[in-house]
Amino acid sequence: MFFKTWLCIQVKAYEEGVDILSYLIERKYLCPLHWGLFKPLEKQVRFEKLKEQNELLRSQLQEKSEYKYEVFLPEGYTKVKKYPVFFTLHGDGKNIEHHKMFWKPDWLLSEGYIVVYLQSSQVSIYEGYLWMGKRMYLFKMLRK
């Protein structure tokens, strides 16, 4: 829904754009206010407060966020045999569920692969996560 704000920006309906963002943030919907497309709203009086509320929301979500993964085993899997493993990472701002809609494990499983879906715990936007950030999260996670 934050793309509605982008449309408002295109037609210079800045107050309406800020209203939409305010509506979303009040309902705990984390918005990507750091994206360049929101830059024209920075001159709006309420926008700075929205950024603060949004950042507080991001911090709260980050505290609760956990790294997730799902493992799919090929038919007939046994612990004795060695299998190739295919790790798949969601895109920036996405999650496992979104990623699985496009990267289904069926073919890899039929070829004898173990398929592992990984989801970062680093909150990016509403129900979206990222791997690379200030903390270089992916590299830290892989070292564990």
Structural domain ending residue among the three candidates 27, 43, 64: 64
Q: CA–CA separation, 95 vs 119, rounded Å?
A: 6
Q: What are the pLDDT digits (tens) for 59-117?
A: 888 888 788 899 999 999 999 999 999 998 776 777 788 888 888 899 999 999 999 99
pTM attached to this predicted model = 0.68
Is the pLDDT at 133 greater than 70, yes or no?
A: no
Give the domain range for residue 108: 68-143
Residue 144: predicted pLDDT: 53
Statement to judge: residues 89 and 57 lie in one domain: no
Query: What is 123-136 written as a DSSP string?
Result: EEETTEE-S-STT-
Phi, psi of 84 (to 5 degrees): -70, 150
The CATH number of whichever domain residue 80 belongs to comes to 3.40.50.1820
Q: CA–CA separation, 33 vs 38, rounded Å?
A: 6
Q: Which residues contact 7 (CB under 8 A, 6 or more apart)?
A: none
Statement to judge: residues 32 and 81 lie in one domain: no
Residue 142: predicted pLDDT: 54
Q: What are the pLDDT digits (tens) for 26-73?
A: 999 888 888 888 899 999 989 999 999 999 998 888 888 788 899 999
Statement to judge: residues 90 and 126 lie in one domain: yes
Residue 63: predicted pLDDT: 87
